[in-house]
Amino acid sequence: MSTSMRKHSRNALALVALLAFSPQASSVGPSPDNYIARARLFLGRLYPGLNGLLRPVIIDGSRLRDPNSVDPDTMNLFTVELCDLEPKPAQSPAACWCSDPVLTALFTFDWQTDNKELIDLTVLGPAVDGRNDKFSKEADKHPEWSDAQITAALNQAGAKYGPDHKAEFLRAFPREDLRPFVGGELEVVSADFHARAGGAVGADPTWVVRAKWHSPDGREADCTLMFEPFDGNLHLIRRMPVVPKAGGESSNGMKPRVP
């Protein structure tokens, strides 16, 4: 086995050990650059209904670091899959990987700032959007339905946060749960319900929240978040380039270098 392959295997094993999944959050938070531990806390806090028996698998990672750093293990971008690897009755023993994860989460943290904020997140899978996917497939059998008819069917299917329940959705917005991970305050600017994605024919009920991100040191950025309407599960976070605070910090929060 080559040196690079041994290093990759060692890193993968270390990551899985660090991410031993548990919905219980630690009383002492990990350091900002302990991205894997922070991802573990994030999943436990934002999706508390996840089964503690689910096993994490790191399927991808990119090491982005300060050019002057000599640490080869800094990882700020990676994908986590949570898989049900427990053998079922009449099934063979559990494998070390699964082809049908119950949750897939792509994390990107800002490696250039002191707080290493979570700046990009996509979460998919039946544990998060199973009910919404099932509803969308049923609604797609009725292409003649208007948005109002989709909304009525959505309420009948038991969605907690249809467009008629905007106030409840905004009260449930996970501002405090997100704060330790995004490294600042999220000020909701608007929240719009979309029965269809981007004007598409197929149903894809989604809440789109536009927010303003405020860091403790005065930086700001526009931010987009998306949620499914049945349980209000978070699907996506996208933070736009940062507006520098007074004093001349660059858009990524780092002070510009003086030639």
pLDDT in tens, 187-228: 999 999 998 876 566 788 999 999 999 999 999 999 999 999
The type of residue at 147 is D
Pair 65, 111: CB distance under 8 Å: yes
Q: Residue range 38-46: average pLDDT?
A: 92
Q: Which residue has the higher pLDDT, 86 or 136?
A: 136
> Residue 51 is inside which H or E element, if any?
none
Give me the phi and psi of 230, to 5 degrees please: -70, -50
In what order do the strands lie in the sheet containing 203-214?
Answer: 55-62, 77-83, 103-109, 118-124, 234-239, 220-227, 203-214, 185-196
What's the confidence (pLDDT) of residue 227?
A: 98
Q: Tens digits of per-residue pLDDT, 127-184?
A: 999 999 999 999 989 888 888 899 999 999 999 999 999 999 999 999 999 999 999 9
Residue ranges covered by each domain of the chain: 1-109, 125-259
Q: Using alpha carbons, select from 201, 211, 259, 198 the residue that is nearest to residue 237.
A: 211
Which pLDDT band, with edges at 50, 70 and 90, does 126 fall under? very high
Angle formed at CA 161 by CA 159 and CA 167, multiple of 5 degrees: 155
Rounded CA-CA distance 2/10 in Å is: 12
Asked if 24 and 40 touch (Cβ cutoff 8 Å), the reply is no
CA–chain centroid gap for 259, Å, is: 38
Cα 30–36–38 angle (5° rounding)? 45
DSSP 3-state assignment of 128?
helix
